[in-house]
Amino acid sequence: MYNPLEQFTITPMIRIYNDWIDLTITNSTIMLLISVLTILLITSSNNNKIIVNKWQRFFELTFKAVQDIVVSMLPGKSNEKYIPLIMNLFFFILFNNLIGLIPYSFTTTSHIAITFTLSLSIIIGVTYIGLRKHSIGFLKLFIPSGLNKGFIRILIPLIFVIELISYLTRIISLSVRLTANMMSGHTLLKIIANFGLQYTSFYPYFFVLIPLVILIPVVILELGVAIIQAYVFTMLTASYIKDAELLH
């Protein structure tokens, strides 16, 4: 694979289709199923053990971090109901990001179709939360406080339209941010790896170490980016839920 963008190609693995239905299973589908099954395996594991191993300790710390995000963004006991959503969202994005670092695997979060669908679902859900709790009062979210006084009130329609557009562009910003970071990092990794393969035919083989020394820090950087992007995505989701709940 010498084309760095070839790794993002969706390849059909199993095709079951006719004139009425198409149940094609691609490499993207398989990776999504792996991440979902991994989350189900983790959440269904026995949490009543007295002795916990390092993995259980890691997930406990992760859960505590996600809980702190929700509590800081959404104060109040009633809002802790969003913890399972935020936690599963974090693990889903994290696992899909990390799977893409495995050689010859596939990064589902590098495709805008996946991230856009996920972002669109979140915004639709957030809008439903706001409308269900505040009804027509949810529209106050698009009118900053202080505009209903004096002569400045004539700007309310313009500000409303601008805020509404800004609200809808969250779908694009959420998806593009994740996709761009995953695609750019993985492309850089592939370019460096292909650059290293060109030195395997040279003697001495010491030259192979040159791109390898460069590749290791990039892999570590990509690992950090995978975690940070999952964290940022969940932070923004919690922030959007906060806007719907508190209207600010």
**Each residue's pLDDT expressed in tens, for the chain with a length of 248 residues:** 567 667 777 777 777 777 777 777 888 888 888 888 888 887 666 555 544 566 677 777 878 887 887 788 777 776 778 888 888 899 899 999 888 888 778 888 888 888 999 999 999 999 999 999 888 888 888 887 766 666 677 778 888 899 899 999 999 999 999 998 888 887 887 777 776 666 665 555 666 677 677 778 888 888 888 889 998 999 899 889 988 888 76
What is the per-residue pLDDT for 12?
Answer: 79
Q: What angle do the packed helices 170-197 and 209-246 form, to 10 degrees?
A: 170
DSSP the chain: ---TTGGG---EEE--B-SS-B--EEHHHHHHHHHHHHHHHHHTS----SS--HHHHHHHHHHHHHHHHHHHHS-SGGGGGGHHHHHHHHHHHHHHHHHTTSTT---GGGSHHHHHHHHHHHHHHHHHHHHHHHGGGGGGGGS-TT-SSGGGGGGHHHHHHHHHHHHHTHHHHHHHHHHHHHHHHHHHHHHHHHHHHTTTTSSSGGGGHHHHHHHHHHHHHHHHHHHHHHHHHHHHHHHHHHHHHH--
And the tokens for 194? Answer: 């292909």
Decide: residue 215, CB within 10 A, 0-12 exposed, 13-18 middle, 19+ buried.
middle
Q: Please tell me the pTM assigned to this model.
A: 0.82
What is the per-residue pLDDT for 219?
Answer: 83
**Do residues 185 and 8 touch, judged by C-beta distance below 8 A?**
no
And the tokens for 216? Answer: 């290791």
What is the per-residue pLDDT for 117?
Answer: 92
CA distances from 149 to 15, 138, 153 (A): 62, 20, 6
